[in-house]
Structure 1
Amino acid sequence: MIGKTYTTMLGGRELSIETGRLAKLVSGSVTLRYGDTLLLVTAQARDEKSLLDFLPLTVEFEERHYAVGKIPGSFQRREGRPGEKAILSARITDRQIRPLFPKGYRHETQVIITVLSADGQNAPDVLGPIGASAALSVSDIPWAGPTACVRVGQIDGQYVVNPTAEQLERSVMDLVVAGTRDAVMMVEAGAQTVDEETLVGAIEFAHAEMQGVISLIETMRVEIGLEKFNFLAESDLSTDLVPELAEAARVGGLRGALLTVKKKERSANLKALRDRLIAERVPEDAEDAAERILALKAAFSKVEKQELRRLILEDDLRADGRNSKTVRPIWIETRPLPRAHGSAIFTRGETQVLGVATLGTERDEILIDDLSSETGDKFLLHYNFPPYSTGEVKRMGGQSRREIGHGNLAKRAIRAVLPSFEEFPYVIRVVGEVLESNGSSSMATVCAGTLSLMDAGVPLKAPVAGVAMGLVMEGERYRILTDILGLEDALGDMDFKVCGSADGVTALQMDIKVGGITPAVMREALAQAREARLHILGKMAEVLAAPRAELSPTAPRIVSMKINPELIGKVIGPGGKQVRELEAMGAQVTIEEDGTIRIFSASGEAAEAVRARISGLTREAKVGEEFEGTVVKTAPFGAFVNLYPGQDGMLHISQMSEERINAVEDVLNVGDKLRVKIVNVDDRGKIDLIRPELEGKIAPRAPREPRGDRGSRPDRGDRGPRPPRSE
């Protein structure tokens, strides 16, 4: 069967989507090509409904190293678990498509994006969501798309759609936007401190640019799309119970339970009210007790959501008693860990994060083995979300996708204000340990991480802070919420995280649960977020206004120096012997091809001792210099005198005395110390010496013949034939 191809232009380059040629047994399958980047995207759902009470959607982003002509670097030489980049790419697709599945849809659904070819210029992460939208649209899976996704950069003040890798290096922002025909649904960005209006302009630009792709997928759906299968939505029983249960809950004290300030107490009060209402309506001996209890629990959740949203929209009153624009109380402590290089505790309401900064050498940078051209990263940020942070018991394993996503957002926020490696030659690791979580723990990680870096003495360009904004929308009415609680995240319509300094935004992430929001609402949310961010930065400044003037006393020291690249061999030594001796002095030594040497040690004294040793090894002797040297070796023609570590000179027998000397040992022996002066340095670095008190009193020795210059010697032809070898 010959496939059918659809094309459109995006960012001045052709985007083509083909279906009907590969992976034809799956419900929806497309191949997408942009430049020489080629993806296969499939979508499949199970026929039977899952028993889970949430949407069982999984998105996998599979990187194949053959896509860039590489063999994997793992021990088995095959691809293993998805790397961080692949997980972040999968999350972009997931966040775009998840809100558009029908309410009550419970069929296990899987979208798999496989990178078959990557050209290194057109990133596959923003192409995967387009492929997923196309595959779902032509499949029989119920889904309310299509959507599209583009990346926007800004170069020399101009917005650029889907910038190439080379263009992205020159861009002041890296913005990814997904949306439907009418509204924006998902935003993720890292930026070099840009103002809010520039970001909104970029989002509007992105939404306009994606319309051609959406039209293309709509055409595909009309021409070749399968009929969507029918699915069993959740039982209407819970919906039928809502009106009566809502009235009983209000009478029973629902408002008071919802307005309990503390999270655990609020949860306990709501559960007690729910259980009492259920017990009043379900006799213990009822045949359908289990079914009715489940239905009543679902109905109570709806009542709880309705009442919370009503309080917010009508009374501007939130679960913990705040209004829509108030930030929770903040307290901060710096340097709580005595041995860490930098540490801080940031607490906002019932969300608390311990930030810890560690400084290392170039050897500590993380090596990257994915489809990108990167080889390493000198800034690491790890976000840990243990179960005790929410008062739960769960199995602990590797890092979850959520932890990777939240950590990446915090990393992008802080990276924008880090000094360059040339200015501050350390590999930096920040860890955010979430100790308590009641909403916005990733934003607390930005604050705690910033404070820990300043506590360590890292010269940040500016402090950064983050805040999570929410939204409750009913028709034309809406209210934007500052610093949302976990409950407001779960029952609200938006999670909009904004990070930045006093000068502008460095990172943001937005996820919408409704059909999307308009630019006007986004502007209002960004303006309200700026007010909150400035408030939080003010609280941080009360404790630590700027990076500490001195590096933390527990932090290792790095001494940088520059040598003649031709002398690198002297520092390394034969077989690396010299470097090993240097590191045995208590330091790590890294050497670059341009002659830059960095000495890393926990002890400033050890670092300085190694620096002095290297200076001696690479010191270039000059004619006229005098030294107090030590005889290290004698020969019939003279004595070798050590001038400084790693450098000897030769004092010829004719330069030792005014009188004729029969043997060097008549004047000098190994271990003797004497004053010497350099009179010549040849092209090989060989040094000739004289005793300075004899200068002018004895005839100077003729300079050694330059290396390779044998022009004054007769060649073999001038000297006649070589005499026959005697037997």
Structure 2
Amino acid sequence: PLFDIAFGRDIQIVPTCVSTDQVNPPDILSVIASSAAVHISDIPFNGPIAAVRVGYIDGEYVLNPTYEEIEKGDLEIVVAGTKDGFTMVEGGANEVSEELMLGALAKAEEFIKVMCKLQDDLRELVGKEKLPLAPLEVALENKEAMLSEAYAKMETACFVKGKMERREAISKVKAALKEKYAEQLEDETQAKLFASLFEEMEYKILRKSILDKSLRVDGRSPTDIRHISCEIDLLPRPHGSALFTRGETQALVVTTLGTSLDEQVYDDIDGDRSENFILHYNFPPYSVGEVGRMGTGRREIGHGNLARRSLEAMMPSREEFPYTVRVVSEIMESNGSSSMASVCGGTLSMLAAGVPMKKPVAGIAMGLITEGSADNPYERYAVLSDILGEEDHLGDMDFKVAGTEDGITGFQMDIKIAGVTTEIMTKALSQAKDARLHILNIMNKTISKPASSISKYAPKIESMKIDVDKIGALIGPGGKTVKGISALYGVTINTDDDGTVTIYGKTAAATEDAKRAVKGIVEDPEVGFIYNGTVKRIMDFGAFVEILPGKEGLCHISKFSRSKINAVSDVVKEGQQIPVKLLEIDKMGRLNLSYIDAIEEQEKK
């Protein structure tokens, strides 16, 4: 918003990070450096701007915290702006209050003014003379006549209910006028100015109605939220699914549970790390009735990151829930803030999948319409809740706020004007809180707590802690022992350096059996336990059964049946897997097993 469109040239700014200490994030420096470079150049620029990251650690605001401090804090907010107002706000938080957020903005404002002053001083020393603007000198012919004929019709068309119906009504007005002035509009420049005229009319009509009548194009007041509907478990196979609809914006959100082996691994300028919560956002062209290329672009990445940040603070720890959680939001239709619909749908989908979120999260997009004078650029303004696509395009601000009933967890603000004041931000945050609580109330009627169990299609996970000095025994020479357990029970076993053992299997029975096998290696065999053993050798007096890798016991012939049998081979064969119960460990450490006791106990269950 700080470059004048009348300059008429492409501008490219390339901040290059040539060295990083991996202690301090380099992004803030790149913003200030970019602004300084443009400010001292000959490019017309309504700056300078500056940026700052604000953290909140142990009850204190911290400016430009390190990576380590960011991890410890309850708030991470990046603020950019001029000396007169904010131009961008983005970040995540751990349920902070609106008041704490405003305090962070106040701290940011002080730092930004200092950095802008430094850039002004730099320009005084080395700045170039600015190039002149090149405003378009060609005017639209018959403009007044066109306005006279079309304005009243546009006022009616702009308030037709429904996005597609409204676009069609506006197109009809445009087509009729275009036909009348067809000869004039054969000129390419006149055709472009004609298209701009209709956008200008729509811009004025929308803003005038909101400021004068508090009436929006779909009939709502500035604070009204569109109709919301929620549905969960609508897809039979995924681990969790939800459909969140708000007006003409709809997100189909699917949650999939995976193992630690499915974590997303990063190796970038911020260092090596892995994430066990992943959110992907897809915005196909059909969601807005268009034909276009499929694939991931800047929009998908940015919206996905915002939704992930908004939900991340309410995710359980790895110890509480040892799954990797992947959420995918598919936008089915869009007319205003599909990223916040992804936050709401993500909450519903994860709760349906049994993810023990700390609290449900909802999000809302706020807008702004301003009208200024020479003395006050914000003489009149209106903050809008739950903005439409038109209100985002023709308005002055897109401010997305997500959080729980107790505080904010994610936010992002982009503006099209020179900046917004603290007063406007205060009103926007207050209005966003009311809207968020309204949405959460509706969502909670569908689902408010995690499902009591995870999907039968999700992998089953068992975790346990073993002594670090027993890790070698579990792994075995060349990995023989752990590979043997994995093959025997059809599971995957992951062992961490701190002694955490995680077992993944397709069924609860397999993971539980494997866990018992691991316990058998790192702990003494437990009397009374039923083991899934392998018959190693058959003798006249019984059979030797391996209940754990490297640990065998004797199942006497009398323990194969309550009635007399002639030979053990009549009941079992060598290599056969059978359940056996450990009856006792004698004074010599020998294991006495029973096949019939295990069978009878299992039948009782």
**Counterpart for residue 607 of structure 1:** 511
In 2, distance between residues paired with 1:517 and 1:630? 73
In 1, distance between residues paired with 2:585 and 2:398? 76
Deviations 1:36-71 (A, max 9, x none): xxxxxxxxxxxxxxxxxxxxxxxxxxxxxxxxxxxx
In 1, distance between residues paired with 2:238 and 2:218? 35
Match of residue 352, structure 1, among 237, 250, 255:
250
The structure whose Rg is larger is 1
Q: Which 5+ residue runs of structure 2 have no aligned equivalent?
A: 373-378, 555-572, 575-579, 593-605
Matched, 1:530 2:433: yes
Deviations 1:638-678 (A, max 9, x none): xx976742344899xxxxxxxxxxxxxxxxxx99x999855
Match of residue 441, structure 1, among 326, 338, 341:
338
Deviation, structure 1 residue 616? 2.3
Alpha-carbon distance change, 429 to 630 in structure 1, aligned in 2, over 3 angstroms: closer
Matched, 1:210 2:112: yes
| Partners of 2:185 and 2:191 within 8 A in 1 | no
More divergent stretch after superposition (141-150 vs 570-579): 570-579
Match of residue 161, structure 2, among 248, 261, 269:
261
| Partners of 2:276 and 2:324 within 8 A in 1 | yes
Match of residue 305, structure 1, among 194, 203, 208:
203
| Partners of 1:591 and 1:598 within 8 A in 2 | yes
Match of residue 463, structure 1, among 360, 371, 375:
360
In 1, distance between residues paired with 2:224 and 2:6? 34
In 2, distance between residues paired with 1:642 and 1:287? 92
The Cα RMSD (Å) is 2.8
Alpha-carbon distance change, 535 to 596 in structure 1, aligned in 2, over 3 angstroms: same
Deviation, structure 1 residue 595? 2.1
The amino acid across from 1:602 in the alignment is: K
The amino acid across from 2:180 in the alignment is: E
Alpha-carbon distance change, 631 to 224 in structure 1, aligned in 2, over 3 angstroms: closer
Alpha-carbon distance change, 611 to 518 in structure 1, aligned in 2, over 3 angstroms: same
Match of residue 377, structure 1, among 275, 282, 287:
275
Match of residue 523, structure 2, among 609, 613, 619:
619
Deviation, structure 1 residue 690? 11
| Partners of 2:481 and 2:549 within 8 A in 1 | no
| Partners of 2:460 and 2:505 within 8 A in 1 | yes
In 2, distance between residues paired with 1:184 and 1:137? 18
Does the residue aligned with 1:100 lie in a helix, a strand or coil? coil
Please give the residue correspondences for 1:276-295 in structure 2 after superposition, counting only pairs within 5 Å: 276-283=176-183, 289-295=187-193
**Counterpart for residue 230 of structure 2:** 332
Alpha-carbon distance change, 649 to 107 in structure 1, aligned in 2, over 3 angstroms: same
Deviation, structure 1 residue 188? 0.5
Deviations 1:250-270 (A, max 9, x none): 33x212210111111111111
Alpha-carbon distance change, 650 to 557 in structure 1, aligned in 2, over 3 angstroms: closer
The amino acid across from 1:347 in the alignment is: T
**Counterpart for residue 664 of structure 1:** none
Deviations 1:87-121 (A, max 9, x none): xxxxxxxxxxxx10003333121111111111122
Matched, 1:553 2:489: no
Alpha-carbon distance change, 170 to 650 in structure 1, aligned in 2, over 3 angstroms: closer
Alpha-carbon distance change, 334 to 278 in structure 1, aligned in 2, over 3 angstroms: same
The amino acid across from 1:578 in the alignment is: T
| Partners of 2:485 and 2:549 within 8 A in 1 | no
Q: RCO higher in 1 or 2 (8 Å CA, sep ≥ 6)?
A: 2
**Counterpart for residue 376 of structure 2:** none
Does the residue aligned with 1:488 lie in a helix, a strand or coil? helix
Deviations 1:105-162 (A, max 9, x none): 3312111111111112211011111010011111111211100000000112111100
Alpha-carbon distance change, 380 to 631 in structure 1, aligned in 2, over 3 angstroms: closer
Matched, 1:422 2:290: no
Q: Which 5+ residue runs of structure 1 have no aligned equivalent?
A: 1-98, 635-639, 652-669, 681-686, 692-727
Richer in helix (by share): 2
Deviations 1:362-403 (A, max 9, x none): 111111110223421111111111111111111223x11111
**Aligned-pair identity (%):** 44
Does the residue aligned with 1:429 lie in a helix, a strand or coil? strand
Match of residue 221, structure 2, among 319, 323, 329:
323
The amino acid across from 2:461 in the alignment is: I
**Counterpart for residue 562 of structure 2:** none
Alpha-carbon distance change, 133 to 281 in structure 1, aligned in 2, over 3 angstroms: same
**Counterpart for residue 38 of structure 1:** none
In 1, distance between residues paired with 2:169 and 2:467? 73
Matched, 1:124 2:26: yes
Matched, 1:141 2:43: yes
Matched, 1:473 2:375: no
Deviations 1:664-712 (A, max 9, x none): xxxxxx99x99985546xxxxxx6x699xxxxxxxxxxxxxxxxxxxxx
The amino acid across from 1:438 in the alignment is: N
Please give the residue correspondences for 1:28-43 in structure 2 after superposition, counting only pairs within 5 Å: none
In 1, distance between residues paired with 2:322 and 2:494? 11
Matched, 1:219 2:121: yes
The amino acid across from 1:305 in the alignment is: Y
In 2, distance between residues paired with 1:227 and 1:471? 35
More divergent stretch after superposition (468-477 vs 370-379): 370-379
| Partners of 1:355 and 1:432 within 8 A in 2 | yes
Does the residue aligned with 1:357 lie in a helix, a strand or coil? strand
The amino acid across from 1:440 in the alignment is: S
TM-score normalized with structure 2 length: 0.86
In 2, distance between residues paired with 1:615 and 1:491? 64
Deviation, structure 1 residue 235? 4.5
Deviation, structure 1 residue 182? 1.1
Alpha-carbon distance change, 242 to 479 in structure 1, aligned in 2, over 3 angstroms: farther
The amino acid across from 2:380 in the alignment is: R
Matched, 1:247 2:144: no
In 2, distance between residues paired with 1:323 and 1:362? 48
Deviation, structure 1 residue 577? 2.9
In 2, distance between residues paired with 1:436 and 1:315? 29
Alpha-carbon distance change, 603 to 242 in structure 1, aligned in 2, over 3 angstroms: farther
In 1, distance between residues paired with 2:85 and 2:534? 82
In 1, distance between residues paired with 2:197 and 2:583? 98
The amino acid across from 1:264 in the alignment is: M
Alpha-carbon distance change, 496 to 632 in structure 1, aligned in 2, over 3 angstroms: closer
In 2, distance between residues paired with 1:457 and 1:126? 39
